[in-house]
Amino acid sequence: MRFLLVLVLTALAGLSGWWTVYIRGILEENKDTIRQKDETIDRLGEDLEESEELRRRLEVSLHLLKVDHRVARIEVLAQGPNPENPTQIQTTIRFQDLGEDGEPVDEGQEIVVLGKKVYLESMVIKFEDGYVEGGDFLRGSSVCLFTRMFGDEQAPRDGEPIDTKGVHPHPYASAGDGEEDTYHAELWSRFWDYANDPKLAENKGVRAMHGEAPFIETRPGKVYLVELRASGGLSIDQQ
């Protein structure tokens, strides 16, 4: 009887030891699992922070690409039959350059064109998006110079030349004699050379150089604003 009791107690002790070891093993496995999950959560948190930072950078980049600069104002002073040819419509407008604050820099230039549709001819330089996104000092926005205006009832060559008020391009109209003048002056002086030589233009960070002539059918008494997109070209909208 004693032998049987000892045998049972021994078996129970062995079973208890085995169970203790088994439980400890499970606890260690659970600790490893929890530790791995914690590490995964930490990595996901870091990835989320990186994704959020990337999202913010992309938002800033897209915003900079879409920034519009108001560069000119067109006011329709009069519109009616051409005194020299009553079958034609004559439109008299006041064209004004705008400064960096969006306000006219002077009283402007009075221009007469033939037709209701008024075209604004200009030369435009567009820079690589990377420079625009980064807010580069010299290439952070497209630039333009206005050349002439004409109506849909006359040949472009018969249009009225626009007084550019010097050589400063928009949106650098109020610039002084600084680095931007030297940089852009080279582009303007050899505009068509650069426009016809992609490699030459690329060395200057230029994406495209060409002429543009947006137009709008005008109405008497209306005022229109000319805008230049940082990464694009010109547009004309009613004020």
Angstrom distance (rounded) from CA 156 to CA 115: 12
Dmax of the chain from CA atoms?
139
Q: Which run of H or of E encompasses 59?
A: helix 2-66
User: Nearest-CA neighbor of 212 among 236, 185, 183, 186?
Assistant: 236
| Per-residue pLDDT tens digits of the chain, which is 239 residues long | 655 554 545 555 555 665 566 666 666 676 767 777 777 776 766 666 666 655 555 444 444 555 678 889 999 999 999 999 999 999 999 999 888 777 888 888 999 999 999 999 999 999 998 888 887 878 888 888 899 999 999 999 999 999 765 445 665 544 444 555 677 888 888 999 999 999 999 999 999 999 999 999 999 999 999 999 888 889 999 98
| Predicted local distance difference test score (pLDDT) of residue 154 | 96
**Tokens standing for residue 165:** 């008020």
| Predicted local distance difference test score (pLDDT) of residue 194 | 95
Q: Which run of H or of E encompasses 81?
A: strand 68-82
Helix, coil or strand: residue 171: coil
Q: Which amino acid is at 72?
A: A
| Predicted local distance difference test score (pLDDT) of residue 10 | 57
Angstrom distance (rounded) from CA 181 to CA 173: 10
| Predicted local distance difference test score (pLDDT) of residue 173 | 46
pTM recorded for the entire structure: 0.70
Q: Delimit the domains of the chain by residue range.
A: 1-66, 69-238
